[in-house]
Structure 1
Amino acid sequence: MRSSIFLVILIYALPDIASAATEYATFGAFYKESSAIGWVLAAVVALFIGAIIFFTGGTASPIVLSIGSWIGGMMGLSGIAATNAGLALLGGGSIASGGFGIIGGTALLTAALSFGTDVVIDYTIGKAVSEYKYSNLVENSKNMPTLPLPMNDSGPKAYKNAIKILDKSNEESPIFSSENQDLIKKSIAMLEESARDSPDTDDLSKNLSLLSLLYFVSNDYIEAKKYSNLAIDSARKSNIRRTLPAFVYATSTLYENEFDFSATTNNYFRYSVLAEPDNPLVPLLFSIYLDRLLLRFNDGYLDEKSLNEIFEIMKSPALEDVRVLNYTALISRYFIRLKLEQQKITSLASTANETIKNNPKTLAVVIDSLNRYTILAQDSSSIMSHFLALDLGEEDRLKASEFHNLIVNYIQDKERLASLVDNLKNHQENLLKNKHWWSR
């Protein structure tokens, strides 16, 4: 979809607050400025204040910057704002990779989108699979794109007072900066007190939704889920849409030790985007959800099948106008996962460290990684066929063709990776034979 069309969506997509007076728990109720039309564009820019994108040190290649600018252009942005937004949609905020902590998003994107076989992430010095730890997930999320602070000041008295506090936030600083977080905490304290005394169900829905949002951007996903659940219940009683708390609920659930991913995604995340399909922030909601989802790949709780469930939602006819953006956000995550699995196999199977090379656990890890790589390659190829079948403009088709060629490179690299795994397997089998021979 061309940028001009998407910009029209940015400006006119959501209903005017005055004509949707009962909508207290939607994205439109929070992100449309009370007296302005072009509110969504401001929200898009604000969304990426919370993401640190590093351009210094040559970490982002020209091809990555080009793709980022192309995506940002489709969102109605230009210049550095377009590039930042595009990189964040691609997964270029910050990406936690296994036991390595935070890897600069642009550095990993450059490796993933500029095909190569050299080792750039050495899994011999980190953990192939990390253990679940809530505090680690929270820490790894701090540099990721998150929801912006609300821009609409229409609502009950407590809501208005909270917005007045938030209006003092420093827009030049990340949302997780200490000064901004202090203001958010003040708003939370005031809202929590008023929420207990609110007799009006509609007012309660908006106050609870705001509480869930503020806890979410504070990276307190336990409280965010609690208040989003309360907001959902309140909105149900009023028979109004509840897209914002549904999104917060779904995304916050990803931080729990155990959960039903399919139920959470299809009952809450799906609702959050399909019940308000004209919300121009939908591609960014997919991106935020995908970033958190990928965190759970690191501890092995989620795998490639979860990406397929997201794709099924993206294919919904209601989201037809933003398929290019949505598919791009998803396919970039496939490239990231393919690169990480490729690096895991290459570094572990070809290591000169005899202790690692001779360990049966290493062989088990690379065999599993090769299986994952195979599934990722097959699924990304299938998604790419859907991408290329869209009614694309000239520039969009050119970028889609570049993605297709990249997938072909990853598919062809499977033969090399399989050979590395076979060599390691033969090496360990020979060790075992020699051990048996010497023990006779």
Structure 2
Amino acid sequence: MARKYFGTDGIRGLTNKAPMTAQMAMQVGMAAGAHFLRGDHKHRVVIGKDTRLSGYMLENALVAGFTSVGMDVTLFGPLPTPAIGMLTKSMRADLGVMISASHNPYADNGIKLFGPDGYKLSDADELAIEALIDGDVAPADAPDIGRARRVEDARGRYIHFAKATFPDDLTLDGLRVVVDCANGAAYQVAPTTLWELGADVIAIGVSPNGKNINDQVGSTAPQVLCETVVSSGAHIGIALDGDADRLIVVDENGRVIDGDQLMAVIATGWARAGTLKNGGLVATVMSNLGLERHLSAQGIKLIRTAVGDRYVLEAMRGQGYNVGGEQSGHIILSDYATTGDGLVAALQILAELVRSGLPASELLHRFDPLPQLLKNVRFKGGKPLDDATVKAVIADAEGELTGKGRLVIRPSGTEPVIRVMAEGEDAAQVEAVVDRICNAVTAAAA
């Protein structure tokens, strides 16, 4: 059954436009609260947010919705998304909420929901909540209306948790680290965590004003980080996104290191230490073939899933793996967290850096990625991938790349776009293959 409001990562959109309005936030609070009113105990929901201006509006609307159906609300203020997952479970809450649109511009916002186990909700839970949003939710009787309060030490709790994931026998003494917090949710916790572990910290993207989240800073815009690492003589740079569930790293030369290389470093390090479960790593179909070949040479399996961290996590939980992620830097380490955690992943990279004694440029370049090209073809309607000519062109391309590369073609789940990705040993061949397929899709959609 198709979902009406929830996308691949909660509800998201342009603020004050449907569905991201104060009215909808209140309805979500009422619906989600009613859905999780189970048993006769006093029910609690915890709420965190990033630094967007609209966070205040949506937070208050959610509080109104939850308290109106009888849930008590605990407010944390700005905290990373993974912190909300962790605190939902540790505080025995029935539900957790993160108000964030992740790496999107400030004018967007979103609502992410976590169940009592700290994991994002299942499709079944989201569908049940959607039905309640569109239906009637009975408010609580006057004596049963919920209360709301703020917890001031939530940042400290998350900092303590994050530090506990760093090996006890190591410190960051003598390491100069530039951390870019994207003017987002981790602007206080990330620099503090690194400093308490001994690093010489240079922090950028730590002056949020409600409108500058992800604005020329963070994991999707690492240019300032690259420049700062080189100019300051830092050993490494760390970039988080607006809600700090993604990580991109910059080496001492200002070179950007993507999630594929970072996952290779963590997986091989954990395999060496005997802590990599099931001898494998879970990644999506978009991860580079170079990663797969590198891991294979180390005796490590690569399990591929559809695009989206929820699919990575499903495979990890279902098949017993503890490392997974995406090329974009969304890295899930399930020994520690229930979702991607940019800071925790960064601490694992820093631990490997300290142990190795190598410069970041050497440690983090584990393989040469194969040439990879992704193009999007927008269409107005129909199903161009069902066209006979398109199928024939795709079949020819697959035959051409057999043994030398990969082809991934998929429709977008949110817009009328066909995504065409190819990779192989010959960059010119990859470009030619992608262009042929894109031209065929365009012609079929005309």
- Shared fold per TM-score greater than 0.5: no
Higher relative contact order (CA 8 A, sep 6+): 1
Structure 1 length-normalised TM: 0.26
Structure 2 length-normalised TM: 0.26
Richer in strand (by share): 2
